[in-house]
Amino acid sequence: MSVAFKAVQWNRDKLIYDAVLVAGVAIYIAGFAAVAWRWHPPKNLPDVLDIWLRAFGTAAFLMLTVILCIGPLARLDCRFLKLLYNRRHFGVLTFFVAATHVGLMIEWFAVQGLLHTLPADFTTWENYGKFIGFPFKTLGVAALAIMLTMAATSHDFWLGFLKPPVWKALHMAVYAAYGLVVMHVALGIMQYEHTPLIPLMLIGSLGAVATLHLMAGWREWDADHGRAAAADGWLLVGPPNAIPDKGARIVTASGGERIAVFRDGDQIGALTNLCAHQNGPLGEGRIIDGCVTCPWHGYQYRLADGCAPPPFIERLVTYRVRWNQGVIEVDPHPLPPGTPASITCPRTGA
Amino acid sequence: MTRKHRFAHRMVWPALAFMLALGFTMALALRAPPDPPHAASEPQR
Ligand code: HEM
Ligand code: FES
């Protein structure tokens, strides 16, 4: 998309996503504060700050948990692809919620005139040799530093500048941040407060993240190894309804090549999963204004033939698809870029 | 992600997940018993 390309930065879907996201976080934080206020009515300003500190801390932790669940959920059930589509905004908001948590913690020390005692929490070196008693705030700072790096480089400029493999590797650090935050809570507040809610929150989160990753990994392993191929080598995609409307289902050919099979109403077409721009995961994108739209920078391609609409010149490899006794199948042999190969499916019902 | 990456990933992540689960379990098992109720002190930070 060399000529005056304008990335799809904002569209209706993204605005709705962001509005729901911000509303959800605001409702959680306000609800947490309201319940905590009733339960342990604050006696002074530090108590009030403590409630907000916990509200923002738990919100950031739960958001991090949800972020880590979105990937495997989207692989398990296509309805969750919508969440994946705009996950970056989720990450940036999580950083701001976590940063507010830290700001409130500093304020908690400040209003009591204890700010000068804070550095000692980080510089009491012998504590770094302990397990219980480890400076848990340092773990929080490390997590926050990772989240800051990710939020700061989330913009497309950085994706282009760092190149997708480096960017992707950098963003895998979200798992490190998650581990650090789990230990920040386990070695911090969990040691001082004996409410069962804290271990329950951690166990619930770890359980959800691990289970979903295992399930998705299992599914993917199955798909990479044993996706039922017809006698003539065509790969099973599933019934048309299994492909989200205006979204894709990704199947893997035996060589490891991923194919994105899109559905737009009753039109079905298969393209390579690799965007011509910077190898973005096309199958995680959606069909917007009639074109398959890459989730990374919004490059667009026609479903029918994999060509970018004029005046652009990019062309993608396409694959033949067929409708066989109620299910869609795809031929794993690539066609030359830009070859028309989509079909109209008899009845999709959805 | 190439197939090699995927293979490496499959080997490494269970070890990291195990370490995190172990860290959490030890933090839970080794924590000090709760204060007796009358001696409620300000939570430490
Ligand atoms: C990614 C960043 C962070 C997240 C997600 C996070 C999350 C949390 C959570 C969930 C709690 C437990 C709240 C409760 O249940 O009462 C907590 C407590 C705490 N965090 Fe963080 N934290 C982060 C970063 C930090 C940083 C950087 C610091 C300090 C520099 C910090 C200081 C504290 C303190 C002092 C507490 C104890 C709160 C209390 O006693 O109520 N956190 N944090
Ligand atoms: S638009 Fe940049 S990778 Fe697809």
User: How confident is the model over B3-44, as pLDDT tens digits?
Assistant: 566 677 778 888 899 999 999 999 999 988 877 665 445 555
Q: Name the residue among A273, A272, A281 with its Cα closest to residue A318.
A: A272
How many residue pairs from chains A and B have C-beta atoms closer than 8 A? Answer: 50
Residue range A175-224, pLDDT digits in tens = 999 999 999 999 999 999 989 999 999 999 999 999 999 998 887 676 65
Q: What is the pLDDT of residue A16?
A: 86
- What count of Cα atoms within 13 Å lies in the side-chain half-sphere of residue A233? 9
Asked if pLDDT for residue A168 goes beyond 50, the answer is yes
A160 pLDDT tier (thresholds 50, 70, 90) = low
Q: What is the pLDDT of residue A254?
A: 75
Rounded distance between C-alpha atoms, residue A330 and residue A261, angstroms: 8
Q: What is the pLDDT of residue A76?
A: 78
Q: Say what the pTM is.
A: 0.76
Residue B14 lies in a domain: yes
Q: What is the pLDDT of residue A155?
A: 72
List of residues 6+ apart from A125 with CB closer than 8 A:
none
Find the range with the poorest average confidence among A115-124, A142-151, A282-291.
A282-291
Asked if pLDDT for residue A3 goes beyond 50, the answer is no
Q: How far is B10 from chain A (nearest CA, A)?
A: 9
Q: Does B11 touch chain A (CB under 8 A)?
A: no
- Kind of pairing, strands A318-319 and A321-324? unpaired
Q: Name the residue among A36, A176, A150, A137 with its Cα closest to residue A93.
A: A150
Ligand 1 in reach of A53 Cβ (< 6 A): yes
The count of domains in chain B is 1
Residue B45 lies in a domain: no
Ligand 1 in reach of B45 Cβ (< 6 A): yes
Which of A10-14, A80-84, B24-28 has the largest mean confidence? B24-28
Q: Average model confidence (pLDDT) for chain A?
A: 87
Write out residues with Cβ below 6 Å of ligand 2: A 275, 277-278, 280, 294, 296-299
How is residue A35 written in tokens? 């319940």
By percentage, how much of chain A surpasses pLDDT 70? 88
Q: Name the residue among A263, A262, A275 with its Cα closest to residue A315.
A: A275
Rounded distance between C-alpha atoms, residue B8 and residue A340, angstroms: 37
How many Å is the maximal CA-CA distance in chain B?
60
Instruction: Indicate the top mutation candidate among A40, A49, A53, A206 to test ligand 1's pocket, ranked by most ligand atoms within 8 A of CB.
Output: A53
Instruction: Indicate the top mutation candidate among A292, A293, A296 to test ligand 2's pocket, ranked by most ligand atoms within 8 A of CB.
Output: A296
Q: What is the ipTM for the molecules in this complex?
A: 0.78
Residue range A234-275, pLDDT digits in tens = 998 888 888 989 999 988 887 778 899 999 999 999 999 989
- A39 and A111 Cβ atoms separated by less than 8 Å: no
3-state secondary structure of A280: coil
Q: Name the residue among A89, A102, A120 with its Cα closest to residue A53.
A: A102
The residue ranking higher by pLDDT, A84 or A198, is A198
Q: What is the pLDDT of residue A218?
A: 82
Residue B8 lies in a domain: yes
Mean pLDDT over A18-31 rounds to: 95
Residue B35 lies in a domain: no
Q: Whose CA is nearest to atom 1 of ligand 2?
A: A297
- Domain residues for the domain of B11 are 1-27
Place of tokens 């033939």: A305
Q: How far is A121 from chain B (nearest CA, A)?
A: 9
The residue ranking higher by pLDDT, A321 or B45, is A321
